[in-house]
Chains A and B, each alone.
Chain A
Amino acid sequence: MRLLAFCLIYAGFCCLCLSMSKHYRQVFGAAPSVPMSRLLRWAGWCLLLCSWGGWLLTDGGFIGSLLFIGLLPLAGLPVALLLPYRPRWPMYLASLGVAAGLLLLPITS
């Protein structure tokens, strides 16, 4: 559950990042359409919210929220640092991470 919750933050940041046209262009070479950008932004916030929910479930209200806040930079930093070197990696990693988190959910929780 914790693995999934962490990967959800990462995926959420990826979506938020791609919802900015500057970064979308960096990854796909063209600016996103307005609905696309809006979709990504909503998806990003929803993923973050889901992750927070996950932490609340695993660690309770107080510690869960603290862990969530503490992990934000840890998930956001790799997105920002990978982007200039390997623009598509954050996206792949996020998909992989969420998939792995979901698959391993029966074992890890």
Chain B
Amino acid sequence: MVILKQGFRQSQTWLHKWSGLLLGWLLYAVFLTGTVSYFQDEITFWMHPERHQADTRKIDLDAALASLQPLSQGAALLRLDLPTQRNPLLSASWSKEAGHRGVRQQAILDPASGRIIRDRPSEGGNFFYRFHFQLWHINLLMGRYLIGVATMFMLVAMVSGVIVHKKIFRDFFTFRPGKGQRSWLDGHLLGAVLALPFHLMITFSGLVIFAFLYMPWPIKAEYGDRTMRFFAEANPMPRIAEAAKEPMPLPALSPFLEKARQQWGGGTTAWVTLHHPGDRNAQIEVGMNDGRVTAVAPRLIYSAADGQLQQRLGKLKPVAQVARTLVGLHLGRYAGPLLRWLYFLSGLGGTFMVASGLLLWAVKRNGNAPSAQGWRLVRVLNVATLAGLPIAMTGYLYANRLLPDGLAARDHWEIHCFFGLWFLALLHAEVRPHGRAWVEQLFCGAGLLAAIPLLDWLAGHWHWPVDTSYREWLLPGFDLTCLTLGTGLGWLGWKVLRHPEGAGTDPARSPAAGDQELASPEATL
């Protein structure tokens, strides 16, 4: 029995170690970019200074439609996304094609005046968000598969981790500082066990989002080649009438919004879509936001001609409801400020867990790695990923402010800066001594992050909040968060600097006798 138990735990150790290492770097990037994506709207707002002056106290949809008129002439679909607390602007998109699948053009408008804001092109927070689930510069599907594999291994690493570190619950409150590797392991376990419900939820729900990509066979078996029907049934879309090709002026929109609110019984309006605007068969679709988790907005579709309610969508079938609840939990779109911050902090905790795991892998194998070259590669990649990614991400923000205004494809250049900096971090980690590389990159990231408020202040974008509303705190909150994160990174750098061996990863130092739990679990049995 004892042998069997040993064998099982040993195999789990192997699994935890290697699944953690091979996909750890990718998982770290996924965790970090995903974590900041909880503030995607806020990042996007920050990255468009032209939007900061917009008057967001009231909404005039008719003025917005008037100023869109010359642009969206002949559009078969025109959608207006109403301002929210987090994104206080009116976004318009339109398409020549009817239905919901056409290619769209977009504009951002000042909600009060309906004025179109001509802002610099930028992906904003969307870049981090997309990178989080499909990477960048590689095939979209490929990226999603890669991250799916990583996520599955994350789940494996988590389950095997609980088995490997079997004392995880007995050591629930154990933290022993100043003991090098031991402290890192304590931190790794503390981060893992305290937020275990969050980690399990976020990883599993992450898999559910693209489950149809990873396991397409059930849909194939049931629907054959008509897979789109599956999605239409899971998330019903409104039926759009054909255009009558007879003109009819569009009625005022505000009464429809009020009517939708009443007929749905509360909630706020998230968007209005006009199908065939200016036609006799025009339809007005109102999307509601009632704070539900599923992130599937209820829709009410009215006939523009007589104002009658034609369709009412929003009730999901039970299985779709379960799936969408998991997806909604992952996306956190429903979350108010407090819960959003908890998501963000838990995400940072997960990032720390992955990072400390990667560090431990390298530290454990001081001098007795299976291959010296492989071990060196791990350490270089550790620096370049763990310390390099924050530099690249912050550099992306700097590029947004510092690149010349007239630059062609400015939005692409912002992303080039991100990848360029990341590559430089890799080169730097390769040529510098290991301990120095850590310190220099951590301090570089810390300095860049902490100087974001300074950058804003110098550029004249800083303003003091006049009240405690979310809108007023969007920009100062962003700056203060950067300052705090920068300080945290600086503290880490300082810790490494003070440590004579640089992150405790000097090859000459052999692991202390009591520190071999990961390397040889049988020692603790």
- As a 0/1 sequence over residues 60 to 99 of chain A, the CB contacts with chain B under 8 angstroms (1 = contact) are 0011001101111110110111011100000000000000
Contacting residues, chain B, for A22 (C-beta < 8 A): 174
Least Cβ distance of A15 to chain B in Å?
A: 11
Least Cβ distance of B334 to chain A in Å?
A: 8
Least Cβ distance of A3 to chain B in Å?
A: 12
Least Cβ distance of B293 to chain A in Å?
A: 7
If A73-B194, A77-B190 touch, does A84 touch B176 (CB 8 Å cutoff)?
A: yes
Contacting residues, chain B, for A72 (C-beta < 8 A): 194-195, 197
Is residue B338 contacting chain A, with contact meaning CB distance below 8 A?
A: yes
Give the segment of B140-148, B273-281, B300-308, B343-351 that binds chain A: B343-351
Is residue B339 contacting chain A, with contact meaning CB distance below 8 A?
A: yes
Q: Which single member of B173, B177, B343 contacts A17 (CB below 8 Å)? A: B173
Question: How far is it, in angstroms, between the C-alpha of A33 and the C-alpha of B335 when the chains are bound?
Answer: 44
Question: How far is it, in angstroms, between the C-alpha of A16 and the C-alpha of B177 when the chains are bound?
Answer: 21
If A76-B194, A77-B190, A80-B190 touch, does A70 touch B173 (CB 8 Å cutoff)?
A: no
Is residue A20 contacting chain B, with contact meaning CB distance below 8 A?
A: yes
**Cβ of B346 and Cβ of A70 under 8 Å apart?**
yes
Least Cβ distance of B185 to chain A in Å?
A: 13
Chain B: interface size category: 20 to 34
Question: How far is it, in angstroms, between the C-alpha of A83 and the C-alpha of B177 when the chains are bound?
Answer: 10
Is residue A41 contacting chain B, with contact meaning CB distance below 8 A?
A: no
Least Cβ distance of A96 to chain B in Å?
A: 19
**Cβ of A70 and Cβ of B190 under 8 Å apart?**
no
Give A72's nearest chain B residue, CB to CB. Answer: B194
If A16-B172, A23-B173, A81-B175 touch, does A74 touch B345 (CB 8 Å cutoff)?
A: yes
**Cβ of B293 and Cβ of A80 under 8 Å apart?**
no
Contacting residues, chain A, for B170 (C-beta < 8 A): 20
- As a 0/1 sequence over residues 176 to 195 of chain B, the CB contacts with chain A under 8 angstroms (1 = contact) are 11000000000000110011
Contacting residues, chain A, for B39 (C-beta < 8 A): none
Give A77's nearest chain B residue, CB to CB. Answer: B194
Least Cβ distance of B165 to chain A in Å?
A: 15
Residues of A within 8 A of B (CB): 13, 16-17, 20, 22-23, 62-63, 66-67, 69-74, 76-77, 79-81, 83-85
Given contacts A17-B173, A73-B198, A77-B194, 18 further A-B contacts (CB under 8 A): A20-B172, A20-B173, A22-B174, A23-B173, A62-B293, A63-B336, A66-B329, A69-B197, A70-B339, A70-B342, A70-B345, A72-B195, A73-B191, A73-B195, A76-B172, A80-B172, A80-B190, A84-B176
